[in-house]
Amino acid sequence: MRVLEAALVVYVVLALTLPYLLSGDRTMLTFATYIALATVSIATAASYLRRWAEVE
Amino acid sequence: MSELVVALGAYLAIIALVTLWSRLRTRTGDPVDYFIASRGLSGFVSAMTYAATTYSAFMMVGLVGLSYATGVGALVFELSYLVATVAILAIVGPKVWELSRRRGYVTPTQLLKDSLGSYWGTALAVAMNAVALIPYSAVQIVGPAAILSGISRGLLDVRASMTVVAAIVILTTLTAGLRSVAWTDAAQGFIMVVGALALTTWLISVTPSEAVSKLGDLGLLSPLNNFWTPRTLIAYTTPWIFFALTNPQVFQRLYLPKDRKSYLRMVLLFSVFGLAYTVMAVLIGLLARGLSELGALPIQVDVRSRATWNNVTPQILSYAHPALTVLTAISIIAAATSTVNSIVLTISSMVSYDTPIPEKLRLLAGKAVIVVITLIVYAFALTTPAFVVDLAVASSSLLLPLLPLYLFSIYGPRSRLSYLATVLLGFPLALVLATNQQIQPPIPKEVVILVLSFAIYLAAFVLEKFLPRSHLKSQH
């Protein structure tokens, strides 16, 4: 499962680099910021849930 | 044309094979297996059916159009939904999953009946769900059928396209219940992502950096602009951030994972799916707008007219390679059918379990209800009367009064009077507010519905506490 959480982190990196690949400048920074915020929130929720899932 | 025949044939063959395969794994005659696969799904299948049920044709049609017309605020709206859903899945979801196992729930409304103790309140809650979700399902298949008809150049008219969609819904739902729905959802979820990825990749490859700069010049990369005012953002997001609890077809999916690890895997995979699909849909809309502003992709949509926003995707597809057009169209059909079949199965399970149908007839009744609901959805889609469109648009708001009912069922305080009062007063109130455009309160209607639903529940709870027991008797 840690692979999936790592995939979320990779997603942040991709999300932050995608705008630069698209435009070469920082005009898409808002777009990337929201994706990063969402990803961090999701990773936090996943981490919280992992503690519950490990108590089987 | 040949691309469409090949792709549609391949798509239908995949759906048929997966459906038949899932039939072999079904315990025939067991309603619990039919409606919730005996609570034994893997994390992967649970995640894919959760995602394919949640993400409808709205994503590649409605969200693309919304992003095209209004900019990056559409991403804020849709990601707010995703983050809220994952938070609910992490905080409330485990409790629901445990309750369903401990008390043997099959339907979401069984939780209400068991905790709040009103048989008739539950029957009304089932009716609320049907009133909100049947028109929503009908409208779901109209857009994709129109796209399929458009690209077939006369091979399939809109009626024939809708018949194909309705036939897929009947096949995938009736054959093996939740197992065939979940496994075909897994296949359809894959098709949805591949279609969106292909279209996004093509648009990125043809978009020059000037197109993105143009978006910035138009204020479309700013989260707040002329369209996305704080009020609009709150109005859009309020019903959707509670979607995981108010919509029974996704609530029921919390019962499905076979163990805690599968539940965790479901949430993680759904999160990745949701994030990827959302970003792609918004990017498609934004890039198409940038290209359109440069004149490279002349899309004929008046961004000031909301009614035309759903035409953005069909127009983008008209400029794409035929193979890409067909793949995307099939992915939109997959998104629509995977949502509608889940809604139909969930409503049929609620009718089977939460209305006066004898236990022995549950399965038979459930299958009959599947056919009846699908035929109603099909008829509504063919005719799309104005009231169906109004109810479909209002569906997410109509289900908001269910939020306090589910939350108080799980965490308390529980009260039968509160349950009845919220259903009897909250739903008509939501119906009037959500469908009557003359009523414009100073704060968004969605917030009014939500606040009043909680207020009604709590007021009835206080009333029940202070009235003599001989007049009202709580079950708890």
Instruction: Find the chain A residues whose C-beta atoms sit closer than 8 A to any C-beta of B.
Output: 1, 4-5, 7-8, 11, 15, 19, 21-25, 27-28, 30-31, 34-35, 37-39, 41-42, 45-46, 48-50, 52-56
DSSP H helices, B295-411, are 312-319, 322-354, 362-383, 386-398, 402-411
Position B127 in a domain: no
The CA distance from A19 to the nearest CA of chain B, in Å, is: 9
Position B75 in a domain: yes
Show Cβ contacts of residue B231 under 8 Å, excluding neighbours closer than 6 positions.
B443, B444
Q: Are B316 and B284 in contact (CB under 8 A)?
A: yes
Show Cβ contacts of residue B20 under 8 Å, excluding neighbours closer than 6 positions.
B175
Q: Report the residue of chain A nearest B88, measured CA to CA.
A: A45
Position B395 in a domain: no
B208 touches chain A (CB under 8 A): no
The CA distance from A17 to the nearest CA of chain B, in Å, is: 13
Q: What is the pTM of this model?
A: 0.92
Residues of B in contact with A11 (CB under 8 A): 272, 275-276
**In which domain, by residue range, is B374 found?**
2-107+140-386
Residues of A in contact with B216 (CB under 8 A): 27
CATH of the domain at B154: 1.20.1730.10
Q: What is the 8-class DSSP label of residue B311?
A: G
Position B132 in a domain: no
Show Cβ contacts of residue B126 under 8 Å, excluding neighbours closer than 6 positions.
B109, B347, B350, B351, B354, B355
Closest alpha carbon to B193 in B87, B90, B291, B270: B270
Q: Would you say how long chain B is, in residues?
A: 476
B269 touches chain A (CB under 8 A): yes
Q: Which of A28, A41, A49 sits opposite B267 (nearest CB)?
A: A49
Please compute Rg for chain B using Cα positions. Answer: 22
pLDDT tens for chain B, 476 residues: list them: 678 889 999 999 999 999 999 998 887 789 999 999 999 999 999 999 999 999 999 999 999 999 999 998 899 899 989 989 999 999 999 999 999 999 999 999 999 998 888 888 899 999 999 999 999 999 888 888 888 888 887 778 889 989 999 999 999 999 999 999 999 999 999 999 999 999 999 999 999 988 988 988 888 888 788 898 889 988 888 889 999 999 999 999 999 999 999 999 999 999 999 999 999 999 999 999 999 999 999 999 999 998 889 889 999 999 999 999 999 999 999 999 999 999 999 999 999 999 888 888 999 999 999 999 999 999 999 988 888 777 877 888 899 999 999 999 999 899 999 999 999 999 999 999 988 888 888 999 999 999 999 999 999 999 988 876 655 544 44
Residues of A in contact with B212 (CB under 8 A): 19, 22-23, 25, 27-28
Q: Tell me, what's the ipTM?
A: 0.78
Choosing among B97, B272, B273, B294, which should be mutated to test the A contact, i.e. which has the most A CBs within 10 A? Answer: B272
Position B319 in a domain: yes
**Are the Cβ atoms of B267 and A45 closer than 8 angstroms?**
yes
Position B424 in a domain: no
Position B133 in a domain: no
Position B13 in a domain: yes
Q: Which of B72, B213, B275 sits opposite A39 (nearest CB)?
A: B275
Tally of domains in chain B: 1
